[in-house]
Amino acid sequence: MAEPEIAAQIDTQEELRAHYGEVNYRARLKQLPKLEKHSKRFISLSPFFVLSTASSRGTDASPRGDAPGFVKILDDRTLAIPDRPGNNRVDSFSNILENPSVGLLFLVPGINETLRVNGRARVTTDPAVLAGHAFQGKLPRSVMLVEVEEVFLHCAKALMRSKLWDPSRHVERKDFPSMGECLAEQIGGSLDPRKVEEEVFEGYRNNLY
């Protein structure tokens, strides 16, 4: 399907600001240079955030989740986040090595507001740091340290429009193919969807930590 012809496009910062107008005064003033009691509380309640990174290769957004409190607040300007076993793509960390600027979007189930944290990240494998994030006797692969540069609450409109936490809007799992079925079709070849599905769930059962 061909893209429609674009009759108008915003190309400059001046055009963008002229189109949208001035920043709401609350939106301008709410941006803080460090964590305070409300942002710390929000992070402590959050079991999930999205990590945004970028490099010369492009951009990436990666989901990160664990029990609430898995993101440790070391001080007003530093977060420590364990990296649990995965598929070893390490897209985010690869980007951070080139460009340490990161964005984190925290969500708390049942709360429509979100929390945005921007800063600079580095990755450590220091044994003493890893030990502070052990779970069920297992150490994380590494720990990402984020130096906070700005933090602010984001209004609830996006989650209100999407009704993200409304159980009546939840999609039945049967209405979308399984991970194994998707991978078997996407990768192609002679992959058996059932075998791929078994391998995926084996990872879920035995390699979360």
Same domain (yes/no): 191, 145: no
Q: Which domain holds residue 99?
A: 23-164
Q: Rounded to the nearest 5 degrees, what angle is found at the Cα of 53, between the Cα atoms of 47 and 58?
A: 140
3-state class (DSSP) for residue 129: helix
pLDDT digit string (tens) for 73-103? 999 999 999 999 988 999 999 999 999 999 9
Residues 89 and 178 in one domain: no
Same domain? 177 vs 133:
no
CATH number at residue 100: 2.30.110.10
| 74 and 155 together in one domain | yes
Structure tokens at 21: 């107008």
Q: Are residues 90 and 160 in the same domain?
A: yes
From the list 144, 91, 156, the residue with the least C-alpha distance to 120 is 144
Give the C-alpha separation, 32 to 21, whole Å.
Answer: 22
Q: Domain check: are 102 and 200 in the same one?
A: no
Round to whole Å and give the CA distance between 107 and 76: 20
Please compute the mean of the pLDDT values over residues 155-163 and round it to a whole number. 97
Give residue-wise pLDDT tens across range 30-50: 999 999 999 999 999 999 999
In this structure, are 34 and 100 located in the same domain? yes
Within this chain, do residues 153 and 188 fall inside the same structural domain, yes or no?
no
Burial status of residue 9 (CB atoms within 10 A of its CB: 0-12, 13-18, 19 or more):
exposed
pTM value > 0.75:
yes
182 and 120 in a single domain? The answer is no
Q: Are residues 28 and 117 in the same domain?
A: yes
Tell me, yes or no, whether 159 and 180 share the same domain. no
Q: Are residues 97 and 178 in the same domain?
A: no
The domain total for the chain is: 2
**Residue 155 included in any domain:** yes
